[in-house]
Amino acid sequence: MSELSNTTLIDTPRLQMREFTLDDADAVLAFSIHPEVVRYTGDAGKVNSLEDAKRVIKDYWLAGYREHGFARYALICKQDNQLIGFCGIKYEPHLNRGAGGIDIGYRMLPDYWGQGLATEAVKACLDYAHSTLGVEKVYAEVMVENSASSKVLLKAGMRHIDSYQDDGYQLYLYETC
């Protein structure tokens, strides 16, 4: 487990972001099995049990913190102190037509949709990536059908730069300006 695991890395008016720990497996399972949350992710059905959730935390997020210094972060709503999803960056070798790059991604339980929380989280993560981690360019891939996510990225200051098909999905590519 990372020594920063319980430390808030990103703080906004309504959200906090910190590294995931294995203790977060129940919450990860909750947002990973919700059909509306994973509808446009391309990995629906990959987390179906508590063991799957622990595997994702350990093999992807904790490994990402160790290997790259960043990964997806646990997204905590300050109002009720609940872990409601994730937001964060990761290195994605297949991003941008195979060129690779740093990808921002986010998921949130539907009870928290429509309040501007995703935009708040993405803006804060992008700022953290640039100012704290020194990341120059961040990308995001969005399924064409996911207009809500496209709006979040545009509101967060990203711009649409490409459209293409990858792994059977029609995608929009966004980048930081």
Tens digits of residue pLDDT in 86-106: 999 999 988 877 788 999 999
Phi, psi of 64 (to 5 degrees): -65, -40
Contacts 24+ apart (CB under 8 A), 87-95: 87/17, 87/118, 87/121, 87/122, 87/124, 87/125, 88/17, 88/125, 89/125, 89/129, 89/133, 89/135, 89/138, 90/60, 90/64, 91/64, 92/139, 94/166, 95/139, 95/141
What domains can you pick out in the chain, each with its CATH number?
A: 8-176 (3.40.630.30)
User: What is the rounded distance in angstroms from the CA atom of residue 105 to the CA atom of residue 164?
Assistant: 18
pLDDT of the residue at 5: 52
The pLDDT value given to residue 94? 82
pLDDT band of residue 14 (cuts 50, 70, 90) is: very high
- Is 6's pLDDT higher than 60? yes
Look at residue 8 in the predicted model and tell me its pLDDT.
93
d(CA 68, CA 18): 16
| The pLDDT value given to residue 51 | 97
What are the distances in angstroms from CA 70 to CA 30, 45, 104? Answer: 23, 25, 11
The string of pLDDT tens digits covering residues 112-166 is: 999 999 999 999 999 999 999 999 999 999 999 999 999 999 999 999 999 999 8
The confidence score (pLDDT) of residue 4 equals: 41
pLDDT in tens, 36-76: 998 988 776 689 999 999 999 999 999 999 999 999 999 99
Query: Does 3 have pLDDT greater than 70?
Result: no
Which residues partner with 101 through β-bridges? 92
> Largest Cα–Cα distance in the chain?
40
Residue whose tokens read 């059977």: 168
* Per-residue confidence (pLDDT) for residue 1, from 0 to 100: 32
- C-alpha distances out from residue 89 to 79, 124, 125, Å: 24, 11, 8
